[in-house]
Amino acid sequence: MLERTGELGGRARSWRHAASGDDVDIGPHVLHSEYANFLALLERLGTTDRITWQPRKVITLATTPPTVLRHWPLPPPLSLLPALARAPGLAFRDLWSNNAPTWRALKFGEEDVPELDRVAALDYLRSAGVTERMIDWFWRFAAMVVMNVPLERCSAAALLRVHAQLIGRRGIHFGFPAVGLSELYVPQAERLIRAAGGEVRRNADVVGVEPEAVSLADGTRIAARFCVLALPPQDLARLRPELADTGAFVPSPYVSTYLWLDRKVTRERFWALPWSPGRKNYDFYDLTGIRPGWQARPSVIAANYIYAQCAGAMDDAVLVRAAHAELALSAPEAARARVIHADVHRIPMAICQPRPGTEAKRPAARTRVPGLFLAGDWTHTALPSSMESAARSGFLAAEAILAELGRPQRFSQGVRSRDGFAGLARAATVAARALGPLLARREA
């Protein structure tokens, strides 16, 4: 295991904040109950108990009044519909206009990617008859917080894939690391590697990768029958650009801002602001509702400025003020709170932007060069870029290597196919016919 820097964990790591003494993440991360591969990894490492779950609701949207998305005892994809029906600003016509993309998502399979990947999500939704009000209220928000790009820059295939994977599950809920991200897997994974006879080298800058050999900047040459390049596209382009169309993958930058306040400003642990053309920070976390033993402390807020293309022109003080002001939109007490400490983390690439055309270019684990394999959340995992996708990519690379050795073994957890949704689609159609008149009466 060769790590170019002195720290393991990559884009999902944590460290100690000197002024407060608290562990902070490179950016607040969230997982959900259907992260089968990531949870399998934590099970292997023995850290599944280090997640704080939020089982009774999905998320609170800071509308006026607040919209609490929670699952009702209805068949998917209708379990969230009663919550959406209560959302301010949405009429029955808006909700009903979501039928076409929802039914398409219920039948979505990877064979649909080539067609849908050619289209921007905004164009697809408009062609499907979704109202502009529904697009602004729901889909623009979803594109930013889930896909990390504006709707007009998002692949329709990428958006419908994640929509398909989420609406087919009733009871899905989010979880948050109860410790620093690195504590979830870094020391445990390193121990397992060493226990199996492996070696972990930090500050090992790889400058060359050939079949059966890896070269380091210090002149060291390491023989290796197989090599997994778990790299972001820019670094892969430096070493072996022919293994993928790396130029097609553009980073989506983030800024994560941490605020230590002088008082408690909310009882929510996780919430989001709705989409707005000038919005910077969308999702917010109060770590005092997530970290064990922090409940009595004043609020420690983490906020994500998503698709932070303009952040390069802003200094840290400006970013702190922006996060504080947007926090006050959903937690008014924050406007009266004093910021004791602040920490700004600029993340050049949170994920690769899922632009139209990129889904079809995500490379498989097995490359055309014998002995070289790829891993990373941006590779072809049939999942949106995330910790779940990263975990599955590692499992897929391991499976490919074992297959080469004639010892096939299965580690990765599969993604539900369109066949698995057929029954759900039939049930949803029946339920929709029953719910339609009720929703219409609500609008009237």
Mind listing the pLDDT tens digit for each residue in 82-102?
999 999 999 999 999 999 999
Q: What are the φ/ψ torsions at residue 367 (nearest 5 degrees)?
A: -100, 175
18: pLDDT strictly greater than 70 = yes
Dist CA 52 CA 235 (whole Å)? 34
Domain layout of the chain by residue ranges = 17-36+251-352, 77-168+419-443, 205-249+356-404
* pLDDT tens for each residue of 307-336: 999 999 999 999 999 999 999 999 999 999
pLDDT band at 416 (very low <50, low <70, confident <90, very high): low
Distances from the Cα of 258 to the Cαs of 14, 233, 312, 343, in angstroms?
13, 28, 18, 5
Superfamily for domain range 17-36+251-352: Protoporphyrinogen oxidase, mitochondrial; domain 2 (3.90.660.20)
For 84-95, letters b (16+ CB in 10 Å) and e give: bbebeebebebb
- Please tell me the predicted confidence (pLDDT) of residue 439: 47
Asked whether 330 and 67 are in contact (CB, 8 A), the reply is no
pLDDT digits (tens, 9 = 90+) for 330-353: 999 999 999 999 999 999 999 999
205-249+356-404 is a CATH 3.50.50.60 domain:
yes
Reported as a single tens digit per residue, the pLDDT across 127-144 is 999 999 999 999 999 999
Which residue, 101, 156, 159, 217, is CA-closest to 357? 156
- Numbers of helices and strands, H then E, in the chain: 14, 17
Beta strand ranges found along 307-368 (DSSP E): 339-352
Determine the Cα–Cα distance for residues 155 and 157; give it in Å rounded to an integer.
5
Burial label, 99 (beta-carbon count in 10 A; 0-12, 13-18, 19+)? middle
Query: pTM value?
Result: 0.92
